[in-house]
Structure 1
């Protein structure tokens, strides 16, 4: 089974229903941090998210989220199941809008015959009993595979005590949580003016910060039943994992400058943190193979960020098969890990 664990979804009515569009845009901050608006380009309507204002970060395009086209592209790619998620906008969506999105994803899942499995969207801050009820509805009645969150909300990363009510509820459910990068990290002033630094490296910086804060805090002691799946390979975490989790020095040093790992950090990483690639090809074959080797094939999850670039879905499985992994490791990356994390039958 090949599973795309990162397929984007927004309702097509977002581009045609003025009431839905007004509510969606109206809930965004619309200040220096964020601007959301509708534009037409080449006959295609787009909802554009600038983050910060003046710098495009996300584009949702009309026609990209038509069920029949999505299923046809999955067929062409040889993808059996897709995990649906909302890219980025859940940072500010109200409970009513989250319910609207959850209902829409549930309908796609039904019409797809089980080939699409959603992740619930839920307000993360000000987590009320009504939010807890919606979370329970999604994980129970609607049969969702897990929950999706942003890596930070405003200037708060997920280990902040402000999110305690949410994570206490998630821990009770033993939920798998997909953590999607925010288009730019909290501290972005030095990169925001440069398009590729902002749109690519900014996401990497945001994710490695989020993963590191979870590992170095008491996050998993507070929420021991939670598994976190981070996008963008955890911000290329494979490249810095050894450096961030150093072993005790083999030589005597006058000053101990680093927090060394006595095994606890590695255990948190092994038991609670998993890494979704977001899309395979942009990493390049050598880097992606290195990630699998460094993180372990049982911790790397195939995803495509479809429909950002259709080729990431259509050619993604073949790209992973070209890495030279063992048959067992290839099966884990392409579907086995997602199947276990999201309890997919």
Structure 2
């Protein structure tokens, strides 16, 4: 059964150097995670990556730039994004049966980002894009960022909201007081990343984004970034939200959910109950959750879904979402 991982990451030397040029590591502790073996795997887009895909049982990786992407860069990110996307298109062209791509966008320049997304989808054949939470001080529901979402809806291109580190003030208030390495882990992959990504999606819902753009499709990783496990509590806001539909409707109509390497059948069961089996997508969150020994294919085999629903989870749901034949 063909297995497509839709949240599989890469990095380029140019983007790594751009982060260094603005001393991003001083404000975003996740930058330090991209070192050693992890950095090597992020940078490699050739045979070594393919071999690791084979080891875990993954047939296709949908490549996307790792967090924090270009969110902290200014106008210079326009050219960086274009060069990154052109290089990624060459990688896909060399291995068309093994790689697909998500667009890298100059998100601090929304109009230019919308145009770059259109170029990537219409000209380069990319499948969608990834946004890593806030853009400077702007949440994703900020009206200035609307051109990106409008472009995605018009193109039928999904947007994956990827975690990024919360603001420094939030980290100081809630994720500090331990050893520095514990603070960093707590604020990122321990918990902070996932709350932040889930909150960004909920802000889009509460801001009426999906009422204005009903065809917009968003993906959350890590089985819904905590959101799905509080669906009943979120529904309590229906009486005050002023939205056109109950919050549960947006979870079923506008949201897709992917595993991000968290291979837990009871999480899958909860996600299926909230969004439906036709909105489950597979991913390994390479290279962060990489595990050899056909770990990905083994989880698929034992996940508890029917054979038909397994096929949807493994590849068909993604193909239908992106219009792939």
Tell whether the 8 Å contact from 2:153 to 2:217 is kept in structure 1 after alignment.
Answer: no
* C-alpha spacing 1:136/1:63, structure 2 compared with 1 (3 Å): same
Tell whether the 8 Å contact from 2:41 to 2:49 is kept in structure 1 after alignment.
Answer: no
Of Structure 1 and Structure 2, which has the larger fraction of its residues in helix? 2
TM-score (norm 2): 0.84
Tell whether the 8 Å contact from 1:185 to 1:203 is kept in structure 2 after alignment.
Answer: no
Q: CA deviation at 1:340?
A: 1.6
Match of 2:300 among 320, 333, 344: 320
Please give the residue correspondences for 1:226-305 in structure 2 after superposition, counting only pairs within 5 Å: 226-246=216-236, 263-281=245-263, 284-305=264-285
Q: CA deviation at 1:142?
A: 0.7
How far, CA to CA, are the matches of 2:248 and 2:138 in structure 1?
Answer: 25
Match of 1:333 among 302, 313, 325: 313
Q: Which residue of 1 aligns with 2:4?
A: 3
Q: Which residue of 2 aligns with 1:191?
A: 175
* C-alpha spacing 1:58/1:244, structure 2 compared with 1 (3 Å): farther
Q: Deviations over 1:16-53 (max 9, x none)?
A: xxx77544532x46485237xxxxxxxxxxxx71xxxx
Tell whether the 8 Å contact from 2:161 to 2:220 is kept in structure 1 after alignment.
Answer: yes
SS at match of 2:130: strand
How far, CA to CA, are the matches of 2:61 and 2:85 in structure 1?
Answer: 16
How far, CA to CA, are the matches of 2:269 and 2:252 in structure 1?
Answer: 19
Q: Which residue of 2 aligns with 1:25?
A: 20
Q: Which residue of 2 aligns with 1:53?
A: none
How far, CA to CA, are the matches of 1:133 and 1:263 in structure 2?
Answer: 31
Of Structure 1 and Structure 2, which has the larger fraction of its residues in strand? 1
Q: Which residue of 1 aligns with 2:154?
A: 172
Consecutive unaligned residues in structure 1, runs of 5 or more: 36-47, 50-55, 249-255
TM-score (norm 1): 0.79
Q: Deviations over 1:286-308 (max 9, x none)?
A: 33333333432222211111112
SS at match of 1:7: strand
How far, CA to CA, are the matches of 1:178 and 1:313 in structure 2?
Answer: 28
Tell whether the 8 Å contact from 1:125 to 1:162 is kept in structure 2 after alignment.
Answer: no
Q: Larger Rg: 1 or 2?
A: 1
How far, CA to CA, are the matches of 1:322 and 1:342 in structure 2?
Answer: 26
Q: Deviations over 1:98-142 (max 9, x none)?
A: 1121112111101113321100011122224x4444322211111
Tell whether the 8 Å contact from 2:211 to 2:244 is kept in structure 1 after alignment.
Answer: no
How far, CA to CA, are the matches of 2:71 and 2:214 in structure 1?
Answer: 24
* C-alpha spacing 1:32/1:113, structure 2 compared with 1 (3 Å): closer
Q: CA deviation at 1:69?
A: 1.5
Q: CA deviation at 1:280?
A: 2.4
Tell whether the 8 Å contact from 1:24 to 1:97 is kept in structure 2 after alignment.
Answer: no
Q: Which residue of 1 aligns with 2:59?
A: 80
CA RMSD for the aligned pairs?
2.8
How far, CA to CA, are the matches of 1:111 and 1:340 in structure 2?
Answer: 24
SS at match of 1:62: helix
Q: CA deviation at 1:195?
A: 4.5
Tell whether the 8 Å contact from 2:45 to 2:91 is kept in structure 1 after alignment.
Answer: no
Q: CA deviation at 1:260?
A: 9.6
Q: CA deviation at 1:154?
A: 2.6
Q: Which residue of 1 aligns with 2:81?
A: 98
Q: Deviations over 1:196-234 (max 9, x none)?
A: 422221122112211211222211122232211122222
* C-alpha spacing 1:292/1:76, structure 2 compared with 1 (3 Å): same
How far, CA to CA, are the matches of 1:119 and 1:213 in structure 2?
Answer: 23
* C-alpha spacing 1:24/1:313, structure 2 compared with 1 (3 Å): farther
